[in-house]
Amino acid sequence: MKYLFKIFIICIFSSPILAQLNQLGQIEIPKDPKFEETISVLPLNNDGLLLTLEKESFFSRNKNSWTFYRFDTDFHERWQTSLNIEVGFEAVTSYQNEQYLFWLFAEPQTSKIIIVRLDLEHGEIDEFKGDLLGSVDINFFKVLGNTAFLGGSFTEKPIVISFSFFHQKGTVLHGLYDEHLEINGLEIDEKRNEINVIVKERRNGKCGLAIQTYAADGKSLRTIHVPDLDGNSLSFISGKMLPLNEKETLLVGNYSNNCNEFSKGLYLTRLEEGLEKGTSIIKFADLKNFFSFMSPKRQEKMKERIEQKKKEGKEPNFSYKLLVHNLIQTTNGSLLIAEIYYSQPKASGSLSASILSSKSSEKEKKIEEYTFTHAVICEFDKTGKILWDNALVMDNLQSDDLVEQVQVSKLDDKWLLAFLKKGKVNLQQIQGSENVGEKEIFEIKTEASAKPDEDTNVAAWYNQNFVAWGTRKIEGKRHEDPTKEVFYLHKLGYGKEK
């Protein structure tokens, strides 16, 4: 399919006007009415972006077609390539490293999988077909070298399978198939050529977090508990790892005082050559800006409540659900973003179309809606000491999916935080614990008289640039002309008004 460049009106309004979100380029791709089509966009920083167009036939006997477009930062096409997926296979999830984009496809209720490897530089595609040991519910997918690691559950027990691209068969990693364990994440350490499986352990009414490390060939190397066994009085809920160099790694997440999913605060563990070198605990009440999502009056009452508790010798008790992002490495250490949310049953009886699942479950799925109140941003030094904290008010943003909402870009010596709500981009500059100016709100419209496009997607791209994409309708020039639909992409640059 050829893509078309078109000039049309895009209106971006800001209130108050402190800066502009300028349109710097656009692309339109006509939709084919004979197919059900979706697009996804993968920003590649200064190297441009990858657009994936999935075309599914309305007739199941036809293969699904995937077309990949690679663009530079000025929306000039570098290459495009296509792929046909065998009938019966469904997309599960993807993983990207510096060289490749990997897509995992699976045939429901069978052990058959296909892994597609796309070379991001040249557009070359390789396919690897094989079998797992059975029908596995896959939740995690990472690739290290020429081996894929697939984590999930098999007969309701956790399992991680290494799949060699050379032998095209799966091997189960030892030490994980235990009903008392739950896989929390898979983390690739390319500096050490290792895979870390983060697991939650529940035994005898107590919960803990452990890291089981394996070599690229699947050999078990070590297991550590966070914190160590003697100090494991807290329940660590999640963990995100960031290798700093060949010896040091940071592990950051949230913790509770029991086995539930409500957090009491954050923790940071410093690892050196696989051994724990100390864990720092950060309580919500100790963060300077954690309660900034409240009104000034409520914030003042909350501070008084915290001080009164401390005078009485009691610990302030706050519980929240957190969605923790991957860590961002900085010159000082690392940046942590965690979004605070709550969930409730959704009134609608349909699942969000953006949820990808290759396995149909006989169990009834609970449909929930997620509301995000605010996000916490913290920077830590390399020893695990917190340098500053800040917060981004998210105004009760609602989403059908529990996915990251906040986009983060570097802007000189500041950070630019953004999220999308009802077709409006909310932007806030921060410099350490201080906000730079007020939060700015921009409306994205594809026509001068149109309403904000509430189905727009926005992602941080490079520097202070963003990419927005979605679908728009084009009315025919004459009454008898049919209405057409197109996919659009906009490059948006944030800068001061000239």
Residue 255: CA count within 13 A, CB half-sphere:
24
pLDDT at residue 247 is higher than 90: no
Poorest-pLDDT segment among 77-91, 336-350, 393-407, 441-455 = 441-455
Given this model, what pLDDT does residue 351 score? 35
pLDDT level of residue 13 (50, 70, 90 thresholds): very low
Residue-level pLDDT at 447: 64
Residue-wise pLDDT for 187-230, tens only, equals: 999 888 999 999 988 877 778 888 999 999 999 999 988 765 45
Give the lowest-confidence range in 82-91, 161-170, 305-314.
Answer: 305-314
Q: Two tokens at 33?
A: 């009415």
Mean of pLDDT over the chain: 83
pLDDT of residue 7: 32
User: Higher confidence at residue 9 or residue 473?
Assistant: 473
Amino acid 59: pLDDT:
62
The overall pTM is greater than 0.75: yes
**Tokens for 229?**
């066994």
29-43, 105-119, 470-484: which has the minimum mean pLDDT?
A: 470-484
**pLDDT at residue 364 tops 50:** no
- Is the model more confident about 177 or about 315? 177
Greatest distance between any 2 Cα atoms in the chain: 77
The predicted pLDDT at position 92 comes to 93
Distance CA 235, CA 206 (A): 8
Among 24-28, 62-66, 424-428, the range scoring the smallest mean pLDDT is 62-66
Does 477 have pLDDT greater than 80? Answer: no
Q: Is residue 498 over pLDDT 60?
A: no
Contacts of residues 109-113 at CB distance under 8 Å and 24 or more positions apart, as own/partner, are 109/135, 109/359, 109/360, 110/135, 111/135, 111/136, 113/150, 113/163
- 143-150 average pLDDT score: 95
- pLDDT for 39: 92
Whether the predicted pLDDT of 257 surpasses 50: yes
Res. 16: pLDDT tops 70:
no
Q: What pLDDT is attached to residue 484?
A: 82
Residue 11 confidence (pLDDT): 43
Q: What is the structure's pLDDT at 450? A: 61
pLDDT tens for each residue of 316-331: 778 899 999 989 989 8
Examine the pLDDT at 10 and tell me if it is beyond 70.
no
Q: For 47, left (φ over 0), alpha (ψ -120 to 50), or beta?
A: alpha
**Structure-model confidence comparison of residues 399 and 274, the more confident one:** 399
